[in-house]
Amino acid sequence: MKVNRILLTLTLSALSAALSTQVASADYDGGTPNACQGLPTQAQLKTALKAARAAANGGFNLDMWGTVVNRDGVVCAVAFTGTDRGAQWPGSRAISAQKANTANAFSLPGLALSTANLYSAVQPGGSLFGLQESNPVDTGVAYGGNPANNGQPNDPMVGGRIGGVNVFGGGLALYNSSHVLIGAVGVSGDSSCADHNIAWRTRHSLGLDFVPAGVSGDSHRPDNIVYDIVNPPGFPIGVSTSGWGHPACSPAATSIAATLPATSH
């Protein structure tokens, strides 16, 4: 009887392991979660990001990191534009993921908020003050795994929920041609204003900019960055007229933002 119990235990253990393997295979296809269906692959993200980075964006002409998350905040793809992972700021990898998480977490099927739109609202006295502390980064996801794989199809963040809130330009919600909100893209590596411009062009190139509405006041660019922060006399902190403003980085970046491609309909 004892031998039979041992054999039964071993059999159940083997069955459990087999089932676990099947579940893992069902959840992942070549390292990419099935939950990322309809979102860009790592290769597609990299191609679109490199093309957007190559355009004039009003920044420092630096290489970039980009991250895509799905509607649940699961990282689906991570890419960079340089020759290797050290060609762009290493810290911008996690920031790009935070931006993607933020744009996804605070956009709705009927209203898109870019990370740039949130800057003024989270400042002291703003309507969303403290928001940036509400969804902490999962450091295990952000910094786990082999860094040699960072930015590759098997980036250690892929399949994990990164979390984090970042309110600088560079994060945009993704809406497909059926006007369904399916996730977000985050870009980091240059000035925050250039990041926004690059993210915008990346999303447009991917064909995921069927944005329903936003707070920018521009019906052709609903979730565009807003430059309406002014410094009242004797008041050291800039105030956004609309409440959704972002600091200006350079005249070139401001000018470029006004002429970014119109969103799709």
Reported as a single tens digit per residue, the pLDDT across 153-176 is: 999 999 999 999 999 999 999 999
Q: How many CB atoms lie within 10 A of CB 52?
A: 23
Burial class (CB in 10 A: 0-12, 13-18, 19+), 38: middle
In a domain, 31, yes or no: no
Domain that holds residue 61: 38-257
In a domain, 13, yes or no: no
Domain count, the chain: 1
The amino acid occupying position 20 is S
Of 99, 136, 135, the C-alpha closest to 118 is 99
In a domain, 33, yes or no: no
pLDDT above 80 for 2: no
pTM of the model: 0.86
For 94, 105, 118, 165, the CA distances from 137, given in Å and listed in that order, are 9, 13, 18, 8
Q: Give 85-101 pLDDT, tens digit per residue.
A: 999 999 999 999 999 99
In a domain, 265, yes or no: no
In a domain, 70, yes or no: yes
The pLDDT of residue 130 is 87
Q: Give 209-256 pLDDT, tens digit per residue.
A: 999 999 999 999 999 999 999 987 777 678 899 999 999 999 999 999
Question: Percent of the chain at pLDDT above 70?
Answer: 87
Residue range 116-141: average pLDDT?
92
In a domain, 145, yes or no: yes
The pLDDT of residue 236 is 67
Residue range 42-71: average pLDDT?
98
The pLDDT of residue 234 is 74
For tokens 């895509």, the residue is 68
107: domain CATH number is 3.30.450.150
The pLDDT of residue 125 is 83
In a domain, 80, yes or no: yes
In a domain, 9, yes or no: no
